[in-house]
Structure 1
Amino acid sequence: MVPPAVQFENVGIRYGMGPEVLRDLSFSIPPNSFQFLTGPSGAGKTTLLRLILLSIKPTRGLISVFGKDVSRISNDELTDVRRKMGVVFQEFRLLDHLTTYENVSLPLRVQGKDEASYRNEVVELLHWVGLGDRMHVLPPVLSGGEKQRAAIARALIVRPAMLLADEPTGNVDPSLARRLLRLFVELNRQGTSIVIATHDLGLMDLVDARRLVLGDGYLHIDG
């Protein structure tokens, strides 16, 4: 049997000596699934995404990603696990000296792929996210919404096994938000597990997907 993409067992996390900000989290994310992560501002959505990404460690409990107990894997295995994830956080981390096209294609270049093998795919994706006429400009020229779309394209270009996105439609108009959501749905149909953190109820109503609801440090599952 294929293991869950993510498995949490009694996970809790606190910062310093303060109270736990998330507690007793026990849930799984099935492979090839689609879920929204929601809850009020400050509920811990970004913290939960970073726990899944393995960029922070829990105070207690067990986390498994792609069937691997993260408390027991080596640094090399940890790097391999992270390479299977596409990530869109609210800090876009675009490189200012690279064009939009170069930023989006960078993960493929790092993998050693020849540009001829991916150029058409990168150009097509940039058109899809509305950046077809901005692919040769540098990030300082882009608006916040355009940087966000470039970050989304960069995360999607590697066709990750799992996509983690924190408010990916927060800086775009409703029409483009729906278009980006269709792109996420299509990626899910091709086998990628999707976790989108959002407070946009209207957006969530467009997709029949499970909702992971954070509140008061606990997680409730709807659907």
Structure 2
Amino acid sequence: MEQPVVAFDNVGLRYGQGPEILHDISFALEPGSFQFLTGPSGAGKTTLLRLILLSLRPSRGLVRLFGLEASGIAGQDLTAVRRRMGVVFQDFRLLDHLTTYENVALPLRVQEREEASYRAEVMELLAWVGLGERAHALPPVLSGGEKQRAAIARALIARPELILADEPTGNVDPALARRLLRLFLELNRLGTSVLIATHDLALMDQVDARRLVLSDGQLHRYD
């Protein structure tokens, strides 16, 4: 059997000597799965995503990514693991000195691919998210919704094995949210595992997918 893409076993997280922010978190993301992470604001959704990305390390418990124990991943191995993920952050993290096209193409440039091999692919994806005419615009002149769509396109362009998306439709209208959701679903159909953190019930109701429900730092329900 294939190993889970992500597996948490009784994971807890605290900062310093303070109380645990997350406690007794156990779940698994199977290869090719599509799941939502939901719960009220402050429940710990973003923190859990940061644990998966290894920008935070747990205070206790076991985290495995692609079959590797997180505590043993560092240096070049950490870079390699992160390249297997596509991440959509709430604060977008676009590079202001790069155009929309260049920001979206960045994961492919990091792979040292020739631009001729991916230019059409990047432009097609930009058109899909409604940014075809903004390809040469710099992030400072983009609206919040346009930045959101650019961040989503950048996360998807390299067809990673795992997508982590933190409120990916929070700055767009319902029609575009449905269009972006179809993009995540299509990538999932091609084999990518997807975990979307959202509190948008209308969005989640469009997909028959499992929901991880966080509240007060605990995973209360795993549907």
Give your verdict on TM over 0.5.
Answer: yes
Q: Within 5 A, what are the aligned runs for 1:83-94?
A: 83-94=83-94
Contact 1:131–1:146 (Cα < 8 Å) also in 2: yes
1:26-53: CA deviation from partner (whole Å, max 9, x where unpaired): 1111110000000000000000000011
Which stretch has the larger CA shift, 136-145 or 71-80? 71-80
1:63 corresponds to: 63
* TM-superposed deviation, 1:2: 1.1
Q: State the distance in 1 between where 2:93 and 2:41 align.
A: 23
1:195-217: CA deviation from partner (whole Å, max 9, x where unpaired): 00000000000001000000122
2:142 corresponds to: 142
Contact 1:86–1:164 (Cα < 8 Å) also in 2: yes
Contact 2:36–2:212 (Cα < 8 Å) also in 1: yes
Contact 1:212–1:219 (Cα < 8 Å) also in 2: yes
1:212 corresponds to: 212
Question: What is the TM-score of this pair, normalised by structure 2?
Answer: 0.98
Tell me how large the CA RMSD over aligned residues is.
0.9
1:107 corresponds to: 107
Contact 2:104–2:151 (Cα < 8 Å) also in 1: yes
Q: State the distance in 2 between where 1:59 and 1:168 align.
A: 28
Unpaired runs of 5+ in structure 2? none
Contact 2:42–2:216 (Cα < 8 Å) also in 1: no
Q: How many residues align?
A: 223
Q: Does 1:21 align with 2:21?
A: yes
Q: Within 5 A, what are the aligned runs for 1:23-38?
A: 23-38=23-38
2:201 corresponds to: 201
2:182 corresponds to: 182
1:48 corresponds to: 48
2:9 corresponds to: 9
Which contiguous aligned blocks of 4+ residues in structure 1 show a shift greater than 3 angstroms?
Answer: none
* TM-superposed deviation, 1:106: 1.2
Q: Counterpart of 2:43 in structure 1: which amino acid? A: A
* TM-superposed deviation, 1:220: 3.0
Unpaired runs of 5+ in structure 1? none
Contact 1:210–1:221 (Cα < 8 Å) also in 2: no
Give the fraction of aligned pairs with identical amino acids, expressed as a percent.
74
Q: State the distance in 1 between where 2:70 and 2:123 align.
A: 36
Q: State the distance in 1 between where 2:222 and 2:70 align.
A: 27
Determine helix, strand or coil for the equivalent of 1:121: helix
Determine helix, strand or coil for the equivalent of 2:211: strand
Q: State the distance in 2 between where 1:128 and 1:68 align.
A: 35
Q: Counterpart of 2:103 in structure 1: which amino acid? A: N
* TM-superposed deviation, 1:70: 1.1
Q: Does 1:78 align with 2:78?
A: yes
1:128 corresponds to: 128
Which stretch has the larger CA shift, 134-143 or 71-80? 71-80
Q: Counterpart of 1:164 in structure 2: which amino acid? A: L
1:117-160: CA deviation from partner (whole Å, max 9, x where unpaired): 10111000001001011111111110011001001000100101
1:170 corresponds to: 170
Q: State the distance in 2 between where 1:97 and 1:216 align.
A: 39
1:96 corresponds to: 96
Q: State the distance in 2 between where 1:75 and 1:68 align.
A: 14
* TM-superposed deviation, 1:18: 1.5
Determine helix, strand or coil for the equivalent of 2:191: coil
Contact 1:8–1:61 (Cα < 8 Å) also in 2: yes
Question: What is the TM-score of this pair, normalised by structure 1?
Answer: 0.98
Q: Counterpart of 1:210 in structure 2: which amino acid? A: R
